[in-house]
Amino acid sequence: MKLVVIIPALNEAATIAGVIQRIPARIHGITRCETIVVDDGSSDSTAEEARAAGARVVQHPLNRGVGAAFKTGVEAALEAGADIVVNMDADGQFRPEDIPRLIAPILAGKAGFVTCTRFADPAHLPQMPWIKRWGNAGMTWLIGRLCGRKFTDVSCGFRAYTRETLLRLNLYGRYTYTQEMFLNLAVQDVPMAEVSLPVRGTREFGKSRVAGSITKYIRKTVPIIFRTLRDVRPFAFFGTIAAVLLLGGLAAEGFVFGHWCLTGRTHPYQALITVGAVGIILGFLVLVIALVADMLNRLRRLLENVLYYVRSAHYARAVSPADRLRDENTEVVYEARLPVEAIAPHESYDEE
């Protein structure tokens, strides 16, 4: 069982070496471990420090964003034959010593995706400005509602994935991927788990490139979430818009009709007749779009399955025959073919 730790980094020369050196050399259930640092166009000595600490470095010539850096890291990890992939930040906010606890639900066969939660256990609550805590709570509530599951933290970047999960993952956001991932995996019924771990709430050096400004974070993240919702649940997305237009149009027409029944005239509400008619017409048009988008979504799911098999074949060729051999005592962690209910529902998992 091979574990690959991917660390996206941008100008983290002050902390990257310490993070790499603290990654456990021995983990129960893991036979091989590799660290891959994705240098996202750093202008300092991040790449040199990472190489000196023993990591393999993949570099972007220009800054492309943490979402693009994550995808580059995933490709490199799959090429390296990873069975489990852990993603963590380079700023030292997460403890590499907690990696065994993070991957425990995967090794136990209970999840295909595991995320660290900072808010489930009061003892692990990090120090952070109230506005960030409020923003995290609001985002968690929104993603939970959209996914139809209950989460306590959807923004933490300390996560673990099985190979199968990553082969089925399709992300498009360049700025961030953290919330988009939940929607993408939920629609594919990937079993998820949360593990409560201590996380430092503030950086020791510099400031966050992603969540440093709450207004910028919201401005960048919300469009990604809505585009993802549009793609993975098109009928719900367009159907909601159609319902609002239809109900608004019918309400306007109903109000005018009621006024006419009481007074025998439509004055002074003639304009509402036009507004209501336009709302009803637009509502029906958007409803047609919802039906067409729902049909196209079936084709999208078929294409995603084709893409999964193409990826599987591609990355299988990248792994040497010796690396494909598993120990006799090693069990398959997660097969996407199996019913989700037979493996594990979403749950909070914390191994003492």
The whole-number pLDDT of residue 252 equals: 96
* In the block, residue with structure tokens 């027409």: 253
End position of a domain, from candidates 189, 209, 232: 232
Q: What mean pLDDT is predicted for residues 203-216?
A: 59
DSSP character for 81? Answer: T
Q: For residue range 109-153, list pLDDT tens digits in order.
A: 999 999 999 988 888 888 777 777 888 888 898 888 888 888 999
**Interval 222-260: pLDDT, tens:** 787 888 888 888 999 999 999 999 999 999 999 999 999
| Number of other CB atoms surrounding residue 330 within 10 Å | 12
Give the angle subtended at the CA of 13 by the CAs of 12 and 18, to the nearest 5°: 90
Quick one: 243 and 223 in the same domain? no
**Residues paired with 58 in a beta bridge:** 38
Please write the tens of the pLDDT for every residue from 326-342.
443 333 333 333 333 33
Residue 139 placed within a domain:
yes
- C-alpha torsion 335→299→144→192, nearest 10: 10
Give me the pLDDT at residue 317, please.
Answer: 77
Residue 317 lies in a domain: no
Per DSSP bridges, beta strands 159-162 and 113-117 are antiparallel
Contact 300, 231 (CB under 8 A): yes
Tally of domains within the chain? 2
Same domain, 129 and 165: yes
Distance CA 202, CA 196 (A): 18
| Secondary structure percentages of the chain, helix, strand, coil, to 5 | 50, 10, 35
Given a contact cutoff of 8 angstroms between Cβ atoms, the answer to whether 29 and 107 are in contact is yes
Q: Is 133 helix (H, G, I), strand (E, B) or coil?
A: helix
Question: Domain range holding 273?
Answer: 234-304
11 belongs to a structural domain: yes
Instruction: For 60-116, write each residue's pLDDT tens digit.
Output: 999 988 888 999 999 999 999 999 999 999 999 999 999 999 999 999 999 999 999
**Pair (225, 241) in one structural domain:** no
- CA 137 to CA 295: how far, in whole Å? 34
Q: Is residue 349 part of a domain?
A: no
Same domain membership, residue 222 and residue 248: no
Confidence bin at 173 (pLDDT 50/70/90): low
pLDDT band (50, 70, 90) for residue 352: very low
Query: Do 102 and 245 lie in a common domain?
Result: no
Decide which of 264, 280, 304 is a domain's last residue. Answer: 304
The CATH number linked to 50 is 3.90.550.10
Clarify whether residues 194 and 242 are in a common domain: no
Q: Please report, for residues 73, 87, 259, the alpha-carbon distance to residue 67 in angstroms, rounded to integers and kept in the order given.
A: 10, 12, 55
Which of 180, 205, 232 finishes a domain? 232
Q: Provide the b/e sequence for 174-211 (b: ≥16 CB within 10 Å).
A: bbbbbbbbbbbbbbbebbbbbbbbebeeeeeeeeebbb
User: Is the domain of 240 the same as that of 227?
Assistant: no
How confident is the model over 284-320, as pLDDT tens digits?
999 999 999 999 999 998 999 999 999 999 988 766 5
pLDDT in tens, 9-47: 999 999 999 999 999 989 999 999 999 999 999 999 999
Q: Quick one: 15 and 25 in the same domain?
A: yes
Over range 201-218, report the average pLDDT.
61
DSSP state of 123: G
Q: What percent of the chain has pLDDT over 70?
A: 85
Residues 213 and 246 in one domain: no
Give the residue carrying structure tokens 């037979």. 342
Distance CA 165, CA 67 (A): 17
Whether 106 and 52 map to the same domain: the answer is yes
